[in-house]
Amino acid sequence: MGKILGVIPAHLESMRLARKLLLPICGHPMLLWVYRRARAAGCLDQLLVATDSEEILNFCVTDNIPAVMTSAEHRSGSDRIFEVLERGLMSGNAEDIYVNIQGDEPMITREHIELLVRPFLSPTTGPETQVSTLKVAMSYEDAQDPNNVKVATDRMGRALYFSRAVIPYQREPSGHAHYFKHLGLYAYRAGALRKFHTLEPSTLELSERLEQLRFLEHGVDITVMETNRDTIGVDTEDDLRKVEQYFRQAGISLPEE
């Protein structure tokens, strides 16, 4: 088996919250929180930031964070990770597993990353696992928000569909429906990531604006692991305040260097 490699794609500009990765949470830039908390995952053989920003690169150098410059043309984090793979910046083994750690997920935990990697390491599921991601239970009320992406899975934990719409639709008031929020963290085998980037954006992907649907539309299974730890992905100033409030109330401090 290859190595387990963590990559934090870091693009400085954001449409909804400018320069968000360098905005402070409890006095420390969000990107530093993401890196330090992700580094606690003992399963990662390497962890680095992949960016197209000189400012982020300089920040990483100052704070002793491994970082590489990548193209400014990338439209998504997976594109940036694919460049890291193609250039052999971390490893060149076809069996390597790349963990996509979003730079705007400061509440990420060691447990999230270890759960993502678990199906690849299992003697039962490991050989077949190509992509993994996470889900967390959510209320019907929260499921109404199209910014909360929902996921439905089969009995083996493989994704059936991801949607901004409420899935499953409950036709009868039986109370049988359960709703799961998709957490936008992924692990990919190197071969699956290569395949993803040979494929054109798919119809469902373009409709929902969810790139993981490209895998499903082309017959690549996504294993969905359930966590009981929700996160707040930071897209707005309100999200930033909520994360800071959570850290302060829970007494969570920045992990030591």
Kindly report, residue by residue over 97-152, the tens digit of the pLDDT: 999 999 999 999 999 999 999 999 999 888 899 999 999 999 999 999 999 999 99
Q: Would you place residue 226 in the very low, low, confident or very high pLDDT band (cuts 50, 70, 90)?
A: very high
Instruction: Tell me the three state secondary structure of residue 109.
Output: coil
Tokens encoding 202: 């798919």
Please state, in angstroms and rounded to a whole number, the distance separating the CA atoms of residues 153 and 155.
7
pLDDT single digits (tens) 41-88: 999 999 999 999 999 999 999 999 999 999 988 888 899 999 999 998
What is the pTM (predicted TM-score) of this model? Answer: 0.94
Average pLDDT, the chain: 94
Tokens encoding 116: 């993502």
Q: Residue 220 carries which side chain, given as an amino acid letter?
A: V
Q: Is the peptide bond before 66 cis (omega within 30 degrees of 0)?
A: no
Q: What is the mean pLDDT of residues 25-33?
A: 97
